[in-house]
Chains A and B, each alone.
Chain A
Amino acid sequence: MVATAQVRRSSPTYLVLLLVLLLQGITACATQPQRDDWLYQSLGGQVGIERLVNRFLHRVADDERIVHYFYGIDISRLEQKFAEYLAMVAGGPEPYLGEQPGFVHRGYHITEAAFNAVVEDLLDAMAELGIPLAARNELIARLAPLQPHILGTDP
């Protein structure tokens, strides 16, 4: 990318350009497909999501930053429920029958750094499985609003 015309204080061209870009970004965000199942398909459907959760949990098990949060947890149940949850978030057909994420994590005193470590493990697992970048980003975008609930900092 290369800056083009010379900047003139008197000319608002750059300002207008920037505002247009800002609006485009916001519009693109607002018009993102929401109800269809493209993300679910990109993640490989139910089978792909189960494989993703499995790879993710292997990474968590090796992650000294966060593994202690999982001591004493029924991992096979977690594996099943997390896959169900991701499938629902991704627009899959199966219902999620577990508890709300905020409730499940109550009392664990999860730090911001621990939450981000989970995000990184999930991103790494998705990359390992060759999931396209746009799908990885979209899944993170859909999970991100959970952060205050998981941390217990939501109002």
Chain B
Amino acid sequence: MTQAAHVLIVDDNRTSRMVAAKALRQLGCTSAEVGSGEEALELLKRASFDLVLLDIEMPGMDGIEVLRQLRASGQRLAAPVLVISGHGGNTDVVVSAIELGATDFLSKPFDPTLFRARVMSSIENKRLRDAELDNLKQIDRLSEAAMIMESGRFHPASLYLDSVAARPDAIGRLASVFMEMAHQVYDRELSMQRNIRTLNGAGLLLLQGVLWGLIVPLSILIYRENTMTLGVTFWSNMVAGVLCCAWAVGSGKSLRVSFQEFTFLLIWAAVFGLSSIVLFEAAGHVSGIVMSIILALQGFAVFTIAAAMRIEAPSLRRFAGLGVGLIGVLALLLVREQVTGVDDWMWLLIAMLVPILYGAIDILLAVKHPPTLDTIVSSGLVLVLSALLVLPLALVQGHAFLLGASLSVSDLLVALTGVCVGFCTVLYIRLIALAGAVFASQCAYAITVAGIAWSVLLLNEALSLWTGVALLLIISGLALVGPKREAGNVEVEFRRKARSMPVPSPAE
């Protein structure tokens, strides 16, 4: 026996308790003594014993009643009970004691050999049963872990099998094999999830690039017709905002937001309004291709801010990707600057404000966008808010005009820009939620490529061979940065394979 067995002696007679205690000590057991059935029940509630020696005949609550109450309370299973009957005692009483859950009986005076045999075997059985119960508990945990896996989403740490797997027995081996397999499934599913995320992210990103890239040549076309940029900013954002709000209301969403959410939207609207003004103003002074190229700086801005704020993990590979992308942008600028496109270097610097402001919005959205706020609702509200913020400036500067009053080409272009801006804003929030701010900022590259393509198509700007080479560099940079890496603790889905049983052929 590893640890001394602890026995409870229940007998109203002091001398009898003393005999039992000394006899048990002789067998290497420790003991506690109580003089009545009531005390025994009380003590059994608080302490655990390996065996109970229970005198049947006691004044007040007798041994039979103790057994009956133990049985009723469910404590009976906790320790084996040996009932003690007087010499030549009533056999019926012993039988009913055993029927009530007693393990065996001892008659007084004790026969030394029988006493030793019954006490030791009762304790041995109890320990074996405890070990079995423990095994069953471990098996329960294993099957719970299996149920967690089967029920769907899981993380290996949430299976809580480490302590089971550490056991040196067969159950421990089973648990460690199970854990190993759970880890393999987890790793496989995680990489699959990442691939799907990358694919979805890339799709959204290209769509975003194509649409947002269109805004650059559109704003240049607008500037050719209408130089009231503050009015243009107001209308394009208002059209976009009203469109998104209508979309939100149409799909049954409420435009109601909390004060905290409103504050967040107001900050976002202010930054976005400013970026819109700069974009529409710069459109008058920088060519479509150059503007598109400048927008690619957004990736650099976001990655730098994100790395500084430790929002996403900076890695050598991601820095390299960014570097390659930037080299592409610089090459494009060098090639373009020898030709036409910029009438003033000041405007080039002002235009660079746009990607920096976009970068700030990226981070703001990634860190602060309330998850409860619907993306279409927040897009709609932020666009309307940014339009309203620009309105007083437009009025003061005399840039206010009524959209649609003259049905001019420029009005049509402003409305079209608004539609693009609305779509892009919704898409962009979704992209950040899906792939993270750094990856989302890579849409700047897609915007650049698309912007150049649109500029060639719509503005008849020329695309040189060098421009093409530089674009290739930008795209490889995008691939290197990749989508955001999770911080761990991501659950994966466990899918069971449907197995078909082979049907044995009758010939075999």
Q: Do A and B bind each other?
A: no
Q: List residues of chain B with CB under 8 Å of any chain A CB.
A: none
